[in-house]
Structure formats: C-alpha cells, structure tokens
Amino acid sequence: MTAGGKVTRPYSPLDHASIAVSNVARSTRFYDAALAPLGIKRVKEVPGHIGYGTDRPFFWLHPRAARGAVRPGIGLHFCFGAKTRAKVDAFYAAAMAEGAKDNGAPGLRTDYHPSYYGAFVLDPDGYKIEAVCHSSE
C-alpha cells in the first residue's frame, strides 16, 4: 500500500518480532515447513535475515552471535494463529517432521477457554512455538 510514494499499512500494536538462531539455513527450512499450513510464508530476505508473514514480514530470523542452544525455560514463546483446528494439526505435523521437539500435542486447552485448540513445539534452537485456533469447530 502506498500513498504519495510512502508505504502505509494499518496500525498494529505489535508490528514484528525477531529471534536469533544458531543456524539460519536450518531454521529457515523448519519455519518454511511449520508455518506453511498457517498461510505464513517467507516474504522478505536480506543478507542473513529471513522475514515471514502474509503480505509483509512480522516474524524475523537472524543469526545469533553466541553458539549453542537457547537455555530451556527462558520464557520466550511465539504463538501463530490458525483458521482451523486442522491447520493446527498440520502445523504440528510439519514441525515434528522438521525435527521439532514435542511440547504439547494438538488438543483442546480448556483451562484457557472452552474452544482453545493449540499445539506446542520447540524449534531447532529450543524456542517455544505454538499454533492456536480459537474456533469452536
């Protein structure tokens, strides 16, 4: 969207987030597969940085200077919305096929609310990644 040569877009209280990864190529393969069922794809690349989104990047990967895995329990958690429960299931299957560690298989989490359907994985660097559908299918 442009207005008078300037890029414009709707206001969002959270514009984007980024994570530092130990291996950009490995993480790109993982997120390409895991986010595809949610309609999220690679939309921008600049040297060493990969941006994911729908029409614009809102989730970025960049190289981490320090070696080694993320410390478990650091509390960093990213949740991606899914339009259907089947897309949550597909996210989980794709993530697991790319080497994710299970952190909660797809299912209802009624402690959150009656139709909260989510799946949780740990990515190749140990970040907590979730897909959720709030629909009561």
Q: Looking at residue 70, what is its pLDDT?
A: 62
Domain range for 49 is 15-64+72-133
Q: Looking at residue 15, what is its pLDDT?
A: 79
The number of domains in the chain is 1
Indicate whether 26 belongs to any domain. Answer: yes
Written as six digits, the tokens of 107 are: 């299912």
Q: Looking at residue 123, what is its pLDDT?
A: 93
Measured distance CA(17)–CA(32) in Å, rounded:
17
Measured distance CA(84)–CA(29) in Å, rounded:
23
Indicate whether 51 belongs to any domain. Answer: yes
Beta strands in the chain (DSSP E): 2-3, 6-7, 17-21, 41-46, 49-53, 57-63, 77-81, 101-102, 107-108, 117-122, 128-133
The pLDDT profile of the chain, 137 residues, written as one tens digit per residue, is 455 666 566 767 777 899 999 899 999 999 999 999 999 999 999 988 999 999 899 999 999 877 666 665 566 889 999 999 999 999 999 999 999 999 999 999 999 999 999 999 999 988 999 999 999 87
Indicate whether 28 belongs to any domain. Answer: yes
**Which CATH number is 36's domain given?**
3.10.180.10
Q: Quick count: other Cβ atoms within 10 Å of Cβ 113? A: 10
Indicate whether 113 belongs to any domain. Answer: yes
